[in-house]
Amino acid sequence: MNNPPLTQTYDCIVVGSGASGSIVASKLSEAGQSVLILEAGPSRELKDLVSSQLWARQLKWSGSPVEEEGNHKVGHGFNAGFGAGGSALHHYGVWPRLHNNDFDVLSKHGRSLDWPISYETLRPYYDEVQADVGISGDAKAEIWRPKGDPYPMPPLPVFAQGQVIGKGFSAMGLTTAPIPLAINSVPFKGEPSCTYDGWCDAGCPIGALKNPLVTHLQRAAVSGAEIRYDAQVTRVIIDKTNQQMARGVEYIDRDGQVYLVKGGKVVVAAFTVQTVRILLNSIRANGVALGNQFDNLGRYLTTHAGRTVFGLFPDQTDPHLGATGGQLICHDHYDDKTAIEGSFGSYQWLIANAVKPNGLLGYANSRPDIFGPKLQPFMEQAAKHLGNMLYIGEDRSVRQNRVVLSDKIDKFGIPIARTIHNAGPEQDAQMDFAMSEGGAIFRAGGATDIWTGPRAPIHIMGGAVMGSEEKASVTDDLGLVHGTDNVYVVGPSVFPTSGAVNPTFTVSALAYRTAEHLSRLS
């Protein structure tokens, strides 16, 4: 590899074009700073978002391999995106807030970690994001929702599937509310309303579901940020004399050409696993990677446990209608993390997800035991009468769950990432409880056949966790990497705890906060 000199200089280099990176880039660019975004994957446009479970797979990670081990692997191939917009290009737009009790788990319960900020610190940023980007929902109906402004759009409609399953929740004395979705229920800031076709996870080409191509990546480009695609950042370049100062980054294009670019600030927003990999490959003169002076980098890797309950109902449910993320939400089991014996943590139900026949989440693959001549009758019945809902459970933050560098290298000679993640018995107990509850809800709603899918990893967080103590974390509350003057991390990798809600709203709120800070710096 040849190393061209550091010739180009930017006020800020942002590594990654997903939810958090595009926010920081747009905010800083709009504040007048020169910004370069380096995205490992290809450029994508709205016209690339084809309505197909097969073509949607092109949006997923296709970069350097990631090794995974443990009894609950993090599912990098499914969860990570690749290219413009990152994983936010195919995310479902389910945007609940973390609750107050997610921020002080260690202090209150002696396990996992504390955040260095409270919900009240983050609340104004949640409010700002939802006013800016747009969320549909009914804040009053979410009786468990922490304080915040009402949503700027009314909720999306509840279709037959949601109505049928909702009856089951009511019969069990449980509460449901419309899911808060970053999807337009009415036209919003020039983007049209949703057409309820259930293609959210293939990417929404009309912009009704808020992906970075219609929000902050677009804003970044309009305000002058430069974006380079197929640019895999390998390491942060550290000043030879001032080891706290980053000079820029090194990246490799798809042909293997190496480039160095200078930046006054470096913001690593490469999603959880690759963010840690880049930092682990950024070695100081003393042989220690950036942010790893206390052996915290890569640790506290978390992923939500997800598991779907399926059922066939006598009523017609039309499960192809609605949003992939679902129609209703239940947080009745959120605010008491110790309510279930033998378990710990919060969980939520995402109810009446729009579902397709094929694909990993499709109903064909929910019953691998049905094949041959029996398959078509099952498919025809499921196409009209299926109900489903997704359990999402809180993970534990433990040091043993982590991202490390493998002894294997990618095609460019860079060490690849290896993830180690195991669920504990308390997660198993919670999921067992939830599956039992889910079955009872479906029976109460009239379901005849009821079954569950396998446990699946949903969302990937941690690895570069923020904290108030340098010895116990990787960054401060703004994402500044400890021991550095100008290297920041944004994205879900800074989450000290996972909570039990989908992370993109919180990722966005944190990125707004960090961007506000960075925009004040010269």
Partner 1 sequence: MNDLSRRNFIASTSLGMAGMIVGGSLISPRQAHAASLPLKTLNKVQARTLGALAEALVPGALEAGIIQYVDKQLAESNTLLILKYLGLDASAMPGFYRNSLDSAHSLCQSLFTKSPESLTADQAQDWAANIAAGSDEKWQGPPAKFFFFVTRADACDVVFGTNAGSEALNIPYMAHIAPTTTW
For partner 1, which is the closer residue by CB, 288 or 370? 370
The residue (of 337 and 356) whose beta carbon lies closer to partner 1 is: 356
What is the full DSSP assignment across 231-274?
A: -EEEEEEEPSS-TT-EEEEEEE-TT--EEEEEEEEEEE-SHHHH
Nearest distance from C-beta of residue 491 to partner 1, angstroms? 21
What's the rounded Cα separation, in Å, for the pair 405 and 389?
36
Q: Which is nearer to partner 1, 287 or 373 (CB)?
A: 373
Q: Which of 116/325 has CB closer to partner 1?
A: 325
Instruction: In angstroms, give the least distance from the CB of 73 to partner 1.
Output: 6
Name the minimum Å distance from CB 47 to partner 1.
7
Q: Are strands 328-330 and 347-351 parallel, antiparallel or unpaired?
A: antiparallel
User: 520 burial class (0-12, 13-18, 19+ CB within 10 angstroms)?
Assistant: exposed
The nearest distance, CB 167 to partner 1, in angstroms, is: 23
Sequence-distant (≥ 6) Cβ neighbours of residue 224 within 8 angstroms: 29, 34, 35
Token couple for 253:
């294009």
Rounded to a whole number of angstroms, the minimum distance from the CB of residue 254 to partner 1 is 10
Least distance CB 326 / partner 1 (angstroms) = 18
Q: In terms of Cα–Cα distance, which of 429, 512, 505 is closest to 92?
A: 505
Helices (H), 390-497: 425-444
Question: Which of 505, 498, 518 has its CA nearest to residue 272?
Answer: 498
CB of 282 to partner 1, least distance (A): 24
By C-beta, is 238 or 403 nearer to partner 1? 403
Phi-psi region of 189 (alpha: psi -120 to 50; beta: other; left: phi over 0): left
* Between 68 and 250, CB nearer to partner 1: 68
> Footprint of partner 1 on this chain (CB under 8 A)?
47, 49-55, 57-58, 60, 62, 65, 68, 73, 75-78, 195, 197-199, 204-206, 318, 320, 356-360, 362, 364-365, 368-369, 371-373, 375-376, 379-380, 383-384
Compute φ and ψ for 227, nearest 5 degrees.
Answer: -125, 125
Nearer to partner 1, 345 or 457 (CB): 457
- Give the pair of three-digit tokens for residue 60: 């997923």
For the bound state, the minimum distance from the C-beta of residue 214 to partner 1, rounded and expressed in Å, comes to 13
- Cβ closer to partner 1: 288 or 383? 383
Nearest to 515 by CA among 234, 128, 73: 128
Q: Answer whether 485's CB lies under 8 Å from 517's CB.
A: no
3-class DSSP state of 484: coil
CB closer to partner 1 out of 179 and 416: 416
Q: Which helix (H) or strand (E) holds 11?
A: strand 9-15
- What is the closest distance, in whole angstroms, from the C-beta atom of residue 281 to partner 1 in the complex? 19
